[in-house]
A and B are shown apart, each in its own frame.
Chain A
């Protein structure tokens, strides 16, 4: 970890990197380091860590997107492209899917996977920062960000950027780890996150630290109600969320008025 960055823990412009306070400017680079490290085995680890349940969470996200032929869908932090591949079929040849991620290594894996699946005609791959999306105002029908918002340094700035890019009536779907609704499940989940998860990371990706960061970043991420309030404050309307798997994951939905 960057010593200079962590030494600035008391400054006002410090932010969370897992349980550590780091310089805001340094967080993006540190998150990039984590995902550079896990990119090649990201999907495998997701399957192992969630027992394959992440596919069900994403399946419901796609249903809630109500994606139709001809629409433009922006998948931020789309990483290895599993959502983008499914959106590509739903929007059809007259629609467009933009797979965006700040991390070049993840995008490279995602682009290769999409080519292997034959999903290429209507997908554009863009390296982009969620806080300053390089797209026109009112240009996208739906934005999804799955397991990405917690890694963004300034979440409010990112939500405002998403609002700007969405067309009026367009929807944002944020799929993210959240707070379990039962105390018992919360304790079991804590044990799993801080004991088993890093051990699996060490065994499979030879990288316990990155997976420890993933567990810590989940705990520092805003809970269901806090994120809902942040979305409303950013300007989204008709905001609501769906808890999944006992609140381990929540899917937030909001519309651009």
Chain B
């Protein structure tokens, strides 16, 4: 009777829940902040997949994901998969949330608080490696991974900058941002003038029609 096989969805949620709880366990500095939002229930509806997921902060160290929940949510967000993908990869989530097609019901404060806590989370990936491999080897591997991720982050930023410069300066394939904004302003100004002209024409036509009927 349901469209999705609940067992498949439960498998995905159980795996994600386990990963999230392990990540939270490795971020002890966030436990107090997460504890402050415990009891918060968020609902997400992905309209393109006809899928609902509920996220509950049970305690400061435990998050629970559900496919079905009958409690009232503190905040409920609804949007397409593309909307949520854009939000997840956005550098300015608040602006993306406002400008995207995502609908928000309930308290945006609880959503923003949770987002801020997650953004501030510092996950100590070294702890499980040290537990597994000992102090020396664990620290060395963690240091190597950190260097690799820093290099990856730098390489990504550099590639993005170079591609942007090539498209703008060398290839002249895209206009500069300022030029584009100036163009949008001009278009908007023309559109407003056309609207004003249209309303004046409509007024004149109405006056002419009124004169015609009085004669």
Interface residues of chain A, those whose CB is within 8 Å of chain B, are 53, 55-57, 59-60, 63-64, 66, 68, 240-246, 249, 251
A242 touches B11 (CB 8 A): no
**Which residues of B come within 8 Å of A, CB atoms?**
1-2, 5-7, 9-11, 14, 66-71
By beta carbon, the residue of chain A nearest B69 is A63
Asked whether A53 lies within 8 Å of B66 as measured between CB atoms, the reply is no
Contact B7 A245, beta carbon cutoff 8 Å: yes
Contacts of A241 in B (CB 8 A): 1
Say whether B10 contacts A59, CB under 8 Å: yes
Chain A proximity of B63: nearest CB distance (Å): 14
Contacts of A242 in B (CB 8 A): 1-2, 6
Known A55-B14, A56-B10, A242-B6; further 12 A-B contacts with Cβ < 8 A: A53-B11, A56-B11, A60-B7, A60-B10, A60-B67, A60-B68, A63-B10, A64-B68, A66-B68, A66-B71, A240-B1, A245-B7
Is the pair B70, A66 in contact by a Cβ cutoff of 8 Å? yes
Q: How far is the CA of A123 from the CA of B190 in the complex (A)?
A: 73
A251 touches B6 (CB 8 A): yes
Assess the A246–B1 pair: CB atoms within 8 A.
no
What 4 A-B pairs have minimum CB-CB distances, sorted nearest first?
A: A56-B10, A66-B70, A244-B7, A63-B68
Q: Which residues from chain B contact A68 at a C-beta distance below 8 Å?
A: 71
Distance A68 CA – B2 CA, assembled complex (angstroms):
24
Most chain B CB inside 10 Å of its own CB: which residue of A59, A68, A249: A59
Give the chain A neighbours of B1 by CB distance below 8 A.
240-243
Q: Name the distance in Å between B108's Cβ and chain A's nearest Cβ.
A: 26
- A249–B68 CA distance with the chains assembled, in angstroms: 18
Residues of B within 8 A of A244 (CB): 5-7
Cα distance A68–B14 in the bound complex, in angstroms = 20
Q: What is the minimal beta-carbon distance from A180 to any residue of chain B, in angstroms?
A: 12
In the complex, chain A residues whose CB is within 8 Å of the CB of B14: 55-56, 59
**In the bound complex, CA of A53 to CA of B14 (Å):** 11
25 examples of A-B residue contacts, CB within 8 angstroms:
A55-B14, A56-B14, A57-B7, A57-B10, A59-B14, A60-B9, A60-B67, A60-B68, A63-B67, A63-B68, A63-B69, A64-B68, A66-B69, A66-B70, A66-B71, A240-B1, A241-B1, A242-B1, A242-B2, A242-B6, A243-B2, A243-B5, A245-B7, A246-B5, A251-B6
